[in-house]
Amino acid sequence: MAIDCAACPLRRRGNFEAFSDKEIAFMRKFKTGEMQVDPGTLILSQGLSSAHLFTVLSGTGLRYRTLPSGERQVIQFVMPGDFLGLQAGVMHEMGHSAEATSDMVLCVFNRGDLWSLFKSMPERGYALTHLAAIQEHFLGDALATVGQRPAYEKVGWAVHNLYQRAANLGLVRNDAFDFPFRQQDLADALGLSLVHTNKTLAKLRANGVFLWRDGRITVYDQSALSKIADCDAIPRQPLPLI
Amino acid sequence: MAIDCAACPLRRRGNFEAFSDKEIAFMRKFKTGEMQVDPGTLILSQGLSSAHLFTVLSGTGLRYRTLPSGERQVIQFVMPGDFLGLQAGVMHEMGHSAEATSDMVLCVFNRGDLWSLFKSMPERGYALTHLAAIQEHFLGDALATVGQRPAYEKVGWAVHNLYQRAANLGLVRNDAFDFPFRQQDLADALGLSLVHTNKTLAKLRANGVFLWRDGRITVYDQSALSKIADCDAIPRQPLPLI
DNA sequence: CGCGAACTTGATGTAACTCAAGGCGAGTGG
DNA sequence: CCACTCGCCTTGAGTTACATCAAGTTCGCG
């Protein structure tokens, strides 16, 4: 029933690092199952630990942090290949929650096996660290955007980023990709109000940059978009995968 | 001349994880030297790789990301125990720069030896990942603060955080610790203008919460501060160290 | 058909920005 | 020793990007 790691659909469709035979054999043991969830399902919960760690096989989700005052900051739009639960794995508790926004399939690992990953398969431990470094890189970029840029550029940056990631995963067809989120989610990711986000999206639409409708984003003018996003191009190196 | 890892001053003064004898032996080999730098020295440069990785032994610094448009986002106020250069270690380039703001002493490691850390001493590889996870946790918190909170709380959060970190390192005496930064640095960390940061600091001072003068912060009212910062208490677990 | 969730749009308010000017201490040079 | 500059902090005045408030539309669903 469960997908065999050797035939992992991610490595076939996306731009990921290759696995050695030894690594595949290890991952088969390391993987303890698969999980299928519906939209809205809470996968990890801020403040709690978790017995399981996950790699997203398909579907989309959100990571977000809730402040005691009730505000919500979306940390990341989760896509296939993302690893969820590192904080629960090595620390006492998660600093954010994760939930599905579409049907989602996740590879499941045991938190308790994490040490074996370093101990008996250092290549995999290194890959995990690599993933964490990429995450740090992305968060730094997000922080700079949220902290320093005006709304129009924020939204442009977000869509640009999402488009690049989707493209890397082979999820873009005719300059369009699925994006099953609400405007509120984007607003919470960028530190903008819902209303202002809406008006900014309208502006970008009017300018013919892109269109977000019915859970799908279509980019009409890539060069305009990357000019608005104004960020250093992401090197298209293969991503590590757990 | 150089400090022996067995007598590392960090592990003695701060709240860090203990090292086994094997780990100490390994770190002695892993450490290739020490570096002494003056205030203003650039340690790592955004967009470039680096042959060296560092652990801060003493002194303070800044990590910051510069946007193509010239804006600067301060990512972190660097304190002793912080590890610098993970991104250069596992990725092609740094996503941010790092510079000293005081005299600083750094432990120096070779980028090329990083793999040996995973290969021959998985405990250390795990510690590195742990460190990365903590960093991710902190960045998520910073993102939430910059994205969702008003200026008064932002500044309160920042000082609260800095105080906690300094306390963990044994750097607090009489509720005060050194903080050799400019208001502009704090402004760039929080996504505020210099002027507004200044006025917000004046308000906190007037309210008797804390005082920042001559490169030193004195906290007068801890409970008021943590109420303003309004964040989940950081568990005081020992920090990993590289 | 009524209801709720999400999106849209206009009107009004305000937190934070920019501009502008002055103070203060440290360093420099005549 | 004073005059000057320079970096940083401070404060007031005016502006604006974004927030909040308040409707209204559309659409799917029980």
Which among B234, B93, B72, B213 has a CA at the least distance from the CA of A233? B93
Choosing among B90, B124, B157, B226, which should be mutated to test the A contact, i.e. which has the most A CBs within 10 A? Answer: B90
Q: Per residue in A94-138, pLDDT tens?
A: 999 999 999 999 999 999 999 999 999 999 999 999 999 999 999
User: At residue A14, does pLDDT exceed 90?
Assistant: no
Q: Is the pTM of this model over 0.85?
A: yes
Contacts of A123 (CB under 8 A, 6+ apart): A20, A23, B118
CA distance B19 to B17: 7
Verify whether the Cβ–Cβ distance B67 to A144 is below 8 Å.
yes
Give, as ranges, the nucleotides of chain C with any atom within 7 Å of a protein CB.
6-11, 15-20
Q: How far apart are the first and last CA of chain B?
A: 20
Which among A84, A102, A105, A78 has a CA at the least distance from the CA of A165? A78
Contacts of A17 (CB under 8 A, 6+ apart): A127, A238, A239, A240, A241
Q: Per residue in A156-183, pLDDT tens?
A: 999 999 999 999 999 999 999 999 999 9
Which among A183, A176, A175 has a CA at the least distance from the CA of A151? A183
Contacts of B123 (CB under 8 A, 6+ apart): A118, B20, B23
CA distance B218 to B210: 6
Helix (H) or strand (E) holding B58: strand B52-58
pLDDT of residue A171: 96
CA-to-C1' span, A187 to D19 (A): 12
Q: What does each C-alpha distance from A88 to A43, A93, B10, B112, B200 come to in angstroms?
A: 12, 5, 26, 29, 36
- pLDDT band at B50; cut points 50, 70, 90: very high
User: At residue B234, does pLDDT exceed 80?
Assistant: no
Please compute the mean of the pLDDT values over residues A80-88 and round it to a whole number: 96
User: At residue A195, does pLDDT exceed 70?
Assistant: yes
| CB contact at 8 A, B179 and B212 | yes
pLDDT of residue B83: 97
CA-to-C1' span, A224 to C28 (A): 50
| CB contact at 8 A, B184 and B194 | yes
For residue B73, the chain A residue with the least C-alpha distance is A144
Which of B73, B140, B148 lies closest to A95 in CB terms?
B140
Q: What residues of chain B lie within 8 A of the CB of A69, using their CB?
A: 149, 230
User: At residue B120, does pLDDT exceed 70?
Assistant: yes
Cα A42 from chain centroid? 15
Q: Give B1 to chain A, closest Cα distance, Å.
A: 32
What's the one-letter identity of residue B72?
Answer: R
Give the residue ranges with Cβ < 7 A from strand D: A 150-152, 191-193, 195-197; B 182-184, 194-195, 198-199, 201-202
Which of B75, B132, B147 lies closest to A129 in CB terms?
B132
Contacts of B66 (CB under 8 A, 6+ apart): B46, B72, B73, B97
pLDDT of residue B235: 67
Q: Per residue in B54-101, pLDDT tens?
A: 999 999 999 999 999 999 999 999 999 999 999 999 998 999 999 999
Identify each DSSP E strand in B139-221 by its residue range.
Answer: 176-178, 210-213, 216-219
User: At residue B191, does pLDDT exceed 90?
Assistant: yes
Q: What does each C-alpha distance from A164 to A34, A79, A226, A231, B91 come to in angstroms?
A: 27, 12, 10, 12, 18
Which among A114, A18, A230, A146 has a CA at the least distance from the CA of B129? A114
| CB contact at 8 A, B81 and A127 | no
Q: Which residues on adjacent β-strands are paired with residue B63?
A: B76, B98
- Residue for token digits 């943590």? B226
pLDDT of residue A177: 97
